[in-house]
Protein backbone atom coordinates (compact mmCIF):
# COMPACT_ATOMS: atom_id res chain seq x y z
CA UNK A 1 0.00 0.00 0.00
CA UNK A 2 1.41 3.35 -1.01
CA UNK A 3 2.22 5.52 2.03
CA UNK A 4 -1.02 4.57 3.74
CA UNK A 5 -2.94 6.91 1.47
CA UNK A 6 -6.03 4.69 1.53
CA UNK A 7 -6.30 4.28 5.32
CA UNK A 8 -9.45 6.42 5.39
CA UNK A 9 -11.30 3.91 3.22
CA UNK A 10 -12.68 0.49 4.19
CA UNK A 11 -11.14 -1.30 1.20
CA UNK A 12 -7.34 -1.49 1.36
CA UNK A 13 -6.31 -2.59 -2.19
CA UNK A 14 -4.35 0.05 -4.10
CA UNK A 15 -6.30 1.17 -7.15
CA UNK A 16 -4.64 1.93 -10.44
CA UNK A 17 -5.60 4.53 -13.03
CA UNK A 18 -6.76 2.59 -16.06
CA UNK A 19 -7.07 4.77 -19.14
CA UNK A 20 -9.69 2.44 -20.59
CA UNK A 21 -12.20 4.27 -18.38
CA UNK A 22 -12.34 6.94 -21.09
CA UNK A 23 -13.94 4.40 -23.43
CA UNK A 24 -16.26 3.22 -20.66
CA UNK A 25 -17.29 6.83 -20.00
CA UNK A 26 -17.97 7.42 -23.69
CA UNK A 27 -20.18 4.32 -23.97
CA UNK A 28 -22.04 5.32 -20.82
CA UNK A 29 -22.81 8.76 -22.23
CA UNK A 30 -23.85 7.49 -25.67
CA UNK A 31 -26.22 4.92 -24.14
CA UNK A 32 -27.80 7.64 -21.99
CA UNK A 33 -27.38 10.53 -24.39
CA UNK A 34 -30.51 12.57 -23.66
CA UNK A 35 -29.92 13.37 -19.95
CA UNK A 36 -26.19 13.89 -20.42
CA UNK A 37 -26.65 16.10 -23.50
CA UNK A 38 -29.32 18.23 -21.86
CA UNK A 39 -27.14 18.65 -18.77
CA UNK A 40 -24.26 19.71 -21.03
CA UNK A 41 -26.50 22.19 -22.82
CA UNK A 42 -27.66 23.71 -19.54
CA UNK A 43 -24.05 24.01 -18.36
CA UNK A 44 -22.94 25.64 -21.61
CA UNK A 45 -25.78 28.16 -21.45
CA UNK A 46 -24.84 29.06 -17.88
CA UNK A 47 -21.18 29.47 -18.86
CA UNK A 48 -21.95 31.47 -21.99
CA UNK A 49 -23.09 34.59 -20.14
CA UNK A 50 -19.86 35.35 -18.20
CA UNK A 51 -17.76 34.10 -21.12
CA UNK A 52 -19.57 36.47 -23.47
CA UNK A 53 -19.26 39.47 -21.17
CA UNK A 54 -15.59 38.75 -20.57
CA UNK A 55 -14.95 38.41 -24.29
CA UNK A 56 -16.59 41.73 -25.14
CA UNK A 57 -14.75 43.59 -22.37
CA UNK A 58 -11.38 42.02 -23.16
CA UNK A 59 -11.78 42.65 -26.90
CA UNK A 60 -12.46 46.31 -26.15
CA UNK A 61 -9.16 46.47 -24.28
CA UNK A 62 -7.38 44.66 -27.12
CA UNK A 63 -8.71 47.12 -29.72
CA UNK A 64 -7.58 49.99 -27.52
CA UNK A 65 -4.07 48.54 -27.44
CA UNK A 66 -4.08 48.03 -31.22
CA UNK A 67 -4.73 51.73 -31.77
CA UNK A 68 -1.55 52.60 -29.89
CA UNK A 69 1.64 52.50 -31.96
CA UNK A 70 3.84 52.00 -28.92
CA UNK A 71 4.76 48.29 -28.68
CA UNK A 72 5.20 48.38 -24.92
CA UNK A 73 1.81 49.93 -24.41
CA UNK A 74 0.20 47.39 -26.74
CA UNK A 75 1.71 44.48 -24.78
CA UNK A 76 0.63 46.06 -21.52
CA UNK A 77 -2.93 46.50 -22.75
CA UNK A 78 -3.01 42.90 -23.95
CA UNK A 79 -2.01 41.76 -20.48
CA UNK A 80 -4.74 43.98 -19.04
CA UNK A 81 -7.20 42.41 -21.50
CA UNK A 82 -6.23 38.92 -20.35
CA UNK A 83 -6.51 39.99 -16.73
CA UNK A 84 -9.98 41.39 -17.35
CA UNK A 85 -11.19 38.16 -18.96
CA UNK A 86 -9.80 35.86 -16.26
CA UNK A 87 -12.39 36.61 -13.52
CA UNK A 88 -15.22 36.11 -16.02
CA UNK A 89 -13.71 32.76 -16.99
CA UNK A 90 -13.45 31.76 -13.32
CA UNK A 91 -17.11 32.73 -12.87
CA UNK A 92 -18.09 30.63 -15.90
CA UNK A 93 -16.39 27.55 -14.47
CA UNK A 94 -17.88 28.26 -11.06
CA UNK A 95 -21.36 28.17 -12.64
CA UNK A 96 -20.39 24.89 -14.33
CA UNK A 97 -19.41 23.31 -11.00
CA UNK A 98 -22.91 22.17 -9.95
CA UNK A 99 -23.41 20.60 -13.38
CA UNK A 100 -20.11 18.76 -12.95
CA UNK A 101 -21.54 17.26 -9.76
CA UNK A 102 -24.70 16.35 -11.71
CA UNK A 103 -22.57 14.44 -14.24
CA UNK A 104 -20.83 12.61 -11.39
CA UNK A 105 -24.11 11.70 -9.70
CA UNK A 106 -25.56 10.42 -12.98
CA UNK A 107 -22.47 8.31 -13.61
CA UNK A 108 -22.63 6.87 -10.10
CA UNK A 109 -26.29 5.93 -10.56
CA UNK A 110 -25.42 4.08 -13.75
CA UNK A 111 -22.51 2.31 -12.08
CA UNK A 112 -24.91 1.22 -9.34
CA UNK A 113 -27.22 -0.30 -11.95
CA UNK A 114 -29.82 2.47 -11.79
CA UNK A 115 -31.28 4.39 -14.70
CA UNK A 116 -30.85 8.12 -15.22
CA UNK A 117 -33.29 10.62 -16.67
CA UNK A 118 -33.71 14.32 -17.32
CA UNK A 119 -34.73 14.66 -13.65
CA UNK A 120 -31.04 14.21 -12.78
CA UNK A 121 -29.84 17.24 -14.76
CA UNK A 122 -29.93 19.57 -11.76
CA UNK A 123 -29.16 16.96 -9.09
CA UNK A 124 -25.78 18.58 -8.45
CA UNK A 125 -27.42 21.82 -7.35
CA UNK A 126 -27.92 20.34 -3.90
CA UNK A 127 -24.16 20.99 -3.55
CA UNK A 128 -24.26 24.34 -5.35
CA UNK A 129 -21.97 26.40 -3.09
CA UNK A 130 -19.08 23.92 -2.66
CA UNK A 131 -19.34 22.83 -6.29
CA UNK A 132 -19.28 26.42 -7.58
CA UNK A 133 -16.31 27.39 -5.41
CA UNK A 134 -14.46 24.23 -6.43
CA UNK A 135 -15.16 24.91 -10.11
CA UNK A 136 -13.63 28.37 -9.91
CA UNK A 137 -10.65 27.29 -7.80
CA UNK A 138 -9.81 24.31 -10.02
CA UNK A 139 -10.02 26.43 -13.15
CA UNK A 140 -7.71 29.04 -11.62
CA UNK A 141 -5.23 26.38 -10.51
CA UNK A 142 -5.10 24.71 -13.92
CA UNK A 143 -4.73 28.09 -15.63
CA UNK A 144 -1.86 29.23 -13.42
CA UNK A 145 -0.15 25.86 -13.79
CA UNK A 146 -0.59 25.92 -17.55
CA UNK A 147 1.14 29.31 -17.74
CA UNK A 148 4.12 27.58 -16.07
CA UNK A 149 4.98 25.48 -19.17
CA UNK A 150 1.66 23.56 -19.25
CA UNK A 151 2.79 20.43 -17.35
CA UNK A 152 2.11 21.82 -13.84
CA UNK A 153 -1.43 22.66 -14.94
CA UNK A 154 -2.03 19.10 -16.11
CA UNK A 155 -0.59 17.67 -12.91
CA UNK A 156 -2.75 19.99 -10.81
CA UNK A 157 -5.80 18.93 -12.81
CA UNK A 158 -4.86 15.28 -12.33
CA UNK A 159 -4.32 15.55 -8.58
CA UNK A 160 -7.67 17.30 -8.12
CA UNK A 161 -9.71 14.96 -10.36
CA UNK A 162 -11.63 13.54 -7.42
CA UNK A 163 -12.80 16.92 -6.11
CA UNK A 164 -16.26 16.81 -7.69
CA UNK A 165 -16.86 13.11 -6.87
CA UNK A 166 -15.93 13.80 -3.23
CA UNK A 167 -18.28 16.79 -3.11
CA UNK A 168 -21.00 14.63 -4.69
CA UNK A 169 -20.65 11.82 -2.16
CA UNK A 170 -19.69 13.60 1.06
CA UNK A 171 -20.80 16.60 3.06
CA UNK A 172 -17.51 18.49 2.73
CA UNK A 173 -16.37 21.93 1.66
CA UNK A 174 -14.51 22.60 -1.60
CA UNK A 175 -11.06 22.96 -0.09
CA UNK A 176 -11.43 19.82 2.01
CA UNK A 177 -12.47 17.96 -1.15
CA UNK A 178 -9.45 19.31 -3.02
CA UNK A 179 -7.10 18.26 -0.20
CA UNK A 180 -8.63 14.78 -0.05
CA UNK A 181 -8.36 14.33 -3.81
CA UNK A 182 -4.75 15.50 -3.70
CA UNK A 183 -3.94 12.98 -0.97
CA UNK A 184 -5.60 10.10 -2.79
CA UNK A 185 -3.81 10.73 -6.08
CA UNK A 186 -0.35 11.85 -4.96
CA UNK A 187 0.95 8.31 -5.40
CA UNK A 188 -0.38 8.30 -8.98
CA UNK A 189 0.87 11.75 -9.98
CA UNK A 190 1.93 11.13 -13.57
CA UNK A 191 -0.87 8.74 -14.51
CA UNK A 192 -3.37 11.15 -12.98
CA UNK A 193 -1.93 13.92 -15.13
CA UNK A 194 -2.11 11.76 -18.26
CA UNK A 195 -5.69 10.70 -17.50
CA UNK A 196 -6.70 14.32 -16.91
CA UNK A 197 -5.05 15.44 -20.15
CA UNK A 198 -6.65 12.72 -22.29
CA UNK A 199 -10.10 13.07 -20.73
CA UNK A 200 -9.96 16.86 -21.10
CA UNK A 201 -8.81 16.50 -24.70
CA UNK A 202 -11.71 14.22 -25.56
CA UNK A 203 -14.12 16.49 -23.69
CA UNK A 204 -13.02 19.46 -25.81
CA UNK A 205 -13.32 17.68 -29.16
CA UNK A 206 -16.85 19.03 -29.49
CA UNK A 207 -15.32 22.37 -30.46
CA UNK A 208 -14.37 20.75 -33.77
CA UNK A 209 -18.06 20.67 -34.73
CA UNK A 210 -18.75 24.37 -34.31
CA UNK A 211 -18.87 23.77 -30.53
CA UNK A 212 -22.22 21.95 -30.94
CA UNK A 213 -20.50 18.65 -30.29
CA UNK A 214 -19.73 19.82 -26.75
CA UNK A 215 -23.20 18.74 -25.65
CA UNK A 216 -21.97 15.16 -26.21
CA UNK A 217 -18.29 15.39 -25.28
CA UNK A 218 -18.40 17.81 -22.32
CA UNK A 219 -19.45 15.19 -19.71
CA UNK A 220 -16.57 12.79 -20.49
CA UNK A 221 -14.06 14.36 -18.07
CA UNK A 222 -16.52 14.27 -15.16
CA UNK A 223 -17.77 10.75 -15.91
CA UNK A 224 -14.14 9.55 -16.04
CA UNK A 225 -13.55 11.22 -12.67
CA UNK A 226 -16.64 9.50 -11.23
CA UNK A 227 -15.58 6.06 -12.47
CA UNK A 228 -12.00 6.39 -11.23
CA UNK A 229 -13.14 7.68 -7.84
CA UNK A 230 -15.57 4.78 -7.51
CA UNK A 231 -12.75 2.37 -8.41
CA UNK A 232 -10.43 3.89 -5.82
CA UNK A 233 -12.95 3.85 -3.00
CA UNK A 234 -15.33 0.98 -3.70
CA UNK A 235 -15.57 -1.88 -6.20
CA UNK A 236 -13.98 -2.28 -9.67
CA UNK A 237 -15.79 -0.39 -12.41
CA UNK A 238 -18.87 -1.94 -13.92
CA UNK A 239 -18.39 -3.53 -17.31
CA UNK A 240 -21.77 -2.32 -18.47
CA UNK A 241 -24.16 0.39 -17.40
CA UNK A 242 -27.92 0.41 -18.09
CA UNK A 243 -29.47 2.75 -20.60
CA UNK A 244 -32.02 5.33 -19.58
Contact assessment for residue 174 and residue 162, using Cβ atoms and an 8 Å cutoff: no
The whole-model pTM stands at 0.85
Contact assessment for residue 203 and residue 217, using Cβ atoms and an 8 Å cutoff: yes
Q: Is 143 helix (H, G, I), strand (E, B) or coil?
A: helix
pLDDT tens, per residue, the chain with 244 residues: 444 443 444 444 447 899 999 999 999 999 999 999 999 999 999 999 999 998 887 777 666 655 555 555 656 666 767 778 889 999 999 999 999 999 999 999 999 999 999 999 999 999 999 999 999 999 999 999 988 989 999 999 999 999 999 999 999 999 999 999 999 999 999 999 999 999 999 999 988 877 788 999 999 999 999 999 999 988 554 444 555 5
Provide the residue ranges of all domains of the chain, joining segments of one domain with +.
Answer: 21-46+98-233
Amino acid sequence: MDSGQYTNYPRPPVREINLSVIGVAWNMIIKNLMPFALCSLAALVAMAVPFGIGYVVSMGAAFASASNNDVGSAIGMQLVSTGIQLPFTILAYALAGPFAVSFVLMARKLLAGEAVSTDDIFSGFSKFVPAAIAGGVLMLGVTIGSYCCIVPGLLFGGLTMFTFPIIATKDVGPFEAIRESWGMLTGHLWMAGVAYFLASLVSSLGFCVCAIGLVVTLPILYVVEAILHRDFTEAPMAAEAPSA
